[in-house]
Structure 1
Amino acid sequence: MIFLRFIGKTCGFFGYVVQYACVTHCTFEYIGDFVMCSGPSMEPTLETNNILLTEHISPRFHRLRRGDIVIAKSPTNPKQNICKRIVGMPGDSIKGHFNIRNQVVPRGHVWLEGDNTSNSADSRIYGPVPEGLIRSRVLCRVWPLDKIRSLTNY
C-alpha cells in the first residue's frame, strides 16, 4: 500500500515536471527568450556578453520596422545566429557600399547592418536577408545590470 502511494506521488511529480517543461519550451519557442550577444558588430549599442530579452511574435506577423534590432540565422552559415539592425525594408533603395551600386530591397527581404559599420559582416556583404531567417526582435538588454535599457525604437 505504501509502495503504491509512493509510485502515485512519483508519477504525479513527473507529470508536473513534464507540464512545466512543455510550457517553458513553448514560451521560449513562440513568445520570447534570452540571447547572449557576441562580437563587435553592434558596438557601441551592444557589447560581447550582453544578455538580451527578445520576442518572437513580431517576426511571425511581419511587424518589423526600420531601426529594430533582430536576431536572425546567418545567410552564409545556418548554424550561426546574427544580431543586426534593420536599416532597409522591402522597396527601400539602399545606397551602394564597397563599389556596389544602389540596390532595392526585394519583397520579403530586409537589409541588415551592424552599428559598428567598420567591423560588421552584414547585408553590405551578403545582400538582402529573407524575412524568414529572422528569428526574433530584441526588446531590451538585461545584463549587465548597470546597463539595463529598452532597445526598441518606439
Structure 2
Amino acid sequence: MRQWRRVANEAMQFSVSTAKFIALLHVTDSYLFSPILAHGSSMLPTFNFSGDVVLAERLSHRFGRVVPGDVVMVRAPDDPNMMVGKRVLGMEGDKVTFVDPASIRQYRKTTVVPKGHVWIQGDNTKESFDSRSYGPVPYGLIQGRAFFRVWPPNGFGFVDD
C-alpha cells in the first residue's frame, strides 16, 4: 500500500509539473514572443522565399508601440486562419500614396488611413497581396512584431528597418 501511495504521489507531482510547463509555454507563445516561419516572395529581400524563422514579440502592439517601418505579423483580412508578415507604411491619419495593383495603367492613388487602422505592404510590391488590394487593416489584427531572425544562420540577428 505504501508503495502505491509513493507512485501516485510521484505521478501527481509529474502531472502538475507538466501542466505548469505547458501553461508557461502557452503564456510565452501567446503574450510574450513566438517563433514564426516567414516564407513567400512578398517580403523579399527582407525574408527569404524559402523561409526564415523569426521571433515575433507580442507586446508592442498591445501598448500602441507599432510604428511605420516595423514588420508585423497580421491576421489576413481575407482569411483569418492565415498569418501574413508585412511592413507598416502608415498609421491612422497618415496619407499613403500607392500604385493600384488592379489598374492596367499603373494609376497612383492617395488615401488617408482611417482611425484604428494601419497600412501594410510587402517589401516586394510586385508579388505582395496587401493593403493596396484589401485596404487599411484594423489595428486589432496585428498579432506581433517581427524583431529577430533566428534562421538561416547567415541572417541571424535583428530584423532590419
TM over 0.5: yes
| TM-score normalized with structure 1 length | 0.95
The aligned counterpart of 2:14 is 13
Cα distance, 1:127 vs structure 2: 0.5
Calculate the aligned-residue CA RMSD, in Å.
Answer: 1.1
Question: What residue number does 2:60 align with?
Answer: 58
Equivalent position to 1:79, from 65, 78, 81:
81
Equivalent-residue separation in structure 1 for 2:24 and 2:132 (angstroms): 39
Q: Secondary structure at the match of 2:66?
A: coil
Determine helix, strand or coil for the equivalent of 1:118: helix
Deviation per residue, 1:65-86 (Å, 9 max, x gap): 0000000000111111110000
Aligned counterpart for 1:121 among listed residues 129, 139, 146: 129
What is the CA distance between 1:139 and its match in structure 2? 0.8
Q: Structure 2 CA distance, aligned partners of 1:16 and 1:33?
A: 22
Give the match for residue 133 of structure 1: 141
SS at match of 2:92: coil
For 1:149 and 1:5, how far apart are their aligned partners in 2? 48
CA contact (8 A) 1:138 1:152 kept: no
Residues paired across the two proteins, number: 153
Aligned partner of residue 102 in structure 1, secondary structure: strand
* CA shift digits 1:51-110 (9 cap, x unpaired): 001101001111100000000000111111110000111111111422363100011100
Tell me the residue number matched to 2:117.
Answer: 109
Residue number among 135, 144, 152 corresponding to 1:144 in the alignment: 152
SS of 2:80's equivalent in the other structure is: coil
1:152 CA drift (Å): 5.4
| Cα pair 2:46 2:160 within 8 Å, conserved | no
Runs of 4+ with >2 A deviation: none
| % identity of equivalent residues | 36
- Superposition deviation, residue 147 in structure 1: 1.1
Deviates more, 1:143-152 or 1:42-51: 143-152
Relative to total residues, which structure has the larger strand share, 1 or 2? 2
Gaps of at least 5 residues in structure 2 are 101-106
Instruction: Structure 1: state its 5+ residue gaps.
Output: none
